[in-house]
Structure 1
Amino acid sequence: MSRRAVRVLRLGAVPYAEALRVQERCVAAARAALVAARRGGHITFHGPGQLLAFPVLDLRRRRLPLRAYVAGLEALVLRLCRRLGLRSARALPPPCTGVWMGDSKLCAIGVHCGNHITSHGLALNCCTDLSWFEHIVPCGLEGKGVTSLSRELGHHVAVSHVLEPFLDSFQEVFECTLVSSEEPGD
């Protein structure tokens, strides 16, 4: 099977509003409407120390059902965790979407899909200040905790440290070749 190319925009550390604007431009470039969607919980935290990935993919072109896509996102984070030595990371059945270490969420997944075009995606806690989560009910799941790669591995794990293995895992799970791009419309 031939591998399709998927463009990667490396934004670096930018405010969430800017990342959202870029994502909206990508969705518009894909000729899809971006619709406000509630995707778990009343509040979502995105901040420094998280690897945020918001793939904008046409699931119809990839012949991929939405649930299989979400399972693919979980699989790629699990593959990354194995590479880093976290063998006990696991995915749980819905509504506990994401990647977990025991009863603590390591990676949140929240996907929106309109006209078969995905937006939003995942937030992997690398070296996130976890005290932010004390002020919310993460993903609307009462009684669950939040963790990070740094906490689980016992040393500082920067986003830059996991970016390349994350992208490698993405290519492997979604059987594609990632191509860097500077602009959403390229």
Structure 2
Amino acid sequence: MNSYPNKLVQIRQLGSIDYQQAWDYQEALFADTLAMKVYNRNSPPEAQKQTPNYLLFCEHPHVYTLGKSGKENHLLANDAFLENIGARFYRINRGGDITYHGPGQLVGYPILDLDNFFTDIHRYMRLLEEGIILTLADYGIAAGRIDGLTGVWLDHEAQINPRKICAMGVKASRWVTMHGFALNVNTDLSYFSHIVPCGIADKAVTSMQQELGHPVPLHEVTDKLQGHLLDLFGMAIAPATEGMPVG
């Protein structure tokens, strides 16, 4: 456990950002945190430094990403078709199968040192899901979990028409996390028809807009979700952390 646990989190609103740019930024923060942990391990307690925590929020242009455990045939489109619909495709280093990101979707990338909180990936995933569930409840949308399936679902109890509203996929090393979640707020759901979402062929996807019958301000959803995650993890916001540093 970290000798000097840091409960502050730096919130960075990245806006609409290219997937590769956001991935590179995550990797840089992730690598810096790991390097600091190595330094701390080799230093006396009085010389150790607090490891940082970050919570990045953004949107992406149309893109499909395939996790390490995914199957490439779950992408149901060739390169020419992807170009025609203005989408890109990346094989990435998170867990999980294939998913879609695009405008109107709230993407969150927590880069946390879990040594600052608890060293339990299962608990970490369940708390991310709980933050989404509580946010949806703020809008009168009843959501929950399905045993054996990561993410957040609607009609999860009756199992009559379960619909996925939030996908998740993370990577962790030495208890430092990256990648995260994608909540469909005002997402164009037609883009999901070109994949087998998360490798699950027999269940549908949905969005807040689809369920409510009207669009929802993305910044409003972001604020509510941020508040729930702060409460669930016992975090406080570090000062002056808006946006992505340049250079």
How far 1:40 moved relative to its partner?
Answer: 1.8
How far 1:3 moved relative to its partner?
Answer: 8.1
Kept after mapping to 1: 8 A contact 2:14/2:244: no
**2:106 is equivalent to residue 47 of structure 1:** no
How far 1:151 moved relative to its partner?
Answer: 0.7
**1:147-185 superposed Cα distances (whole Å, 9 cap, x missing partner):** 00111111111322211111111111111112351457x
Q: Percent identity?
A: 37
How far 1:101 moved relative to its partner?
Answer: 1.0
**2:165 is equivalent to residue 106 of structure 1:** yes
The aligned counterpart of 1:146 is 205
RMSD between aligned residues: 2.0
Q: Using structure 1 for the length normalisation, give the TM-score.
A: 0.89
The aligned counterpart of 2:93 is 37
How far 1:82 moved relative to its partner?
Answer: 1.0
Q: Which amino acid aligns with 1:138?
A: P
Q: How does 1:75-86 map to 2 (within 5 A)?
A: 75-86=130-141
How far 1:17 moved relative to its partner?
Answer: 1.2
**1-side partners of 2:236 and 2:6: how far apart?**
6
Kept after mapping to 2: 8 A contact 1:106/1:148: yes
The aligned counterpart of 1:167 is 226
Query: Which of these two proteins has the greater Rg computed from alpha carbons?
Result: 2
Kept after mapping to 2: 8 A contact 1:45/1:133: yes
Q: Which has the higher strand share?
A: 2
Kept after mapping to 1: 8 A contact 2:99/2:167: no
SS at match of 2:15: coil
**2:150 is equivalent to residue 97 of structure 1:** yes
**2:123 is equivalent to residue 68 of structure 1:** yes
Kept after mapping to 2: 8 A contact 1:3/1:177: no
Q: How many residue pairs end up in the alignment?
A: 179
**1-side partners of 2:151 and 2:206: how far apart?**
12
Runs (4 or more) in structure 1 with deviation over 2 Å come to: 35-38
**1:113-146 superposed Cα distances (whole Å, 9 cap, x missing partner):** 1111101100000000000000001111121111
The equivalent position to 1:130 in structure 2, one of 189, 214, 223, is: 189
Q: Which amino acid aligns with 1:69?
A: Y
Structure 2: gaps (5+ residues): 36-67, 69-91, 156-161
Q: Which has the higher contact order (CA 8 A, sep 6+)?
A: 1
Q: Does the C-alpha gap of structure 1 residues 75 and 104 become closer, same or farther in structure 2, counting only changes over 3 Å?
A: same
**1:61-90 superposed Cα distances (whole Å, 9 cap, x missing partner):** 21230000000000000110111111x211
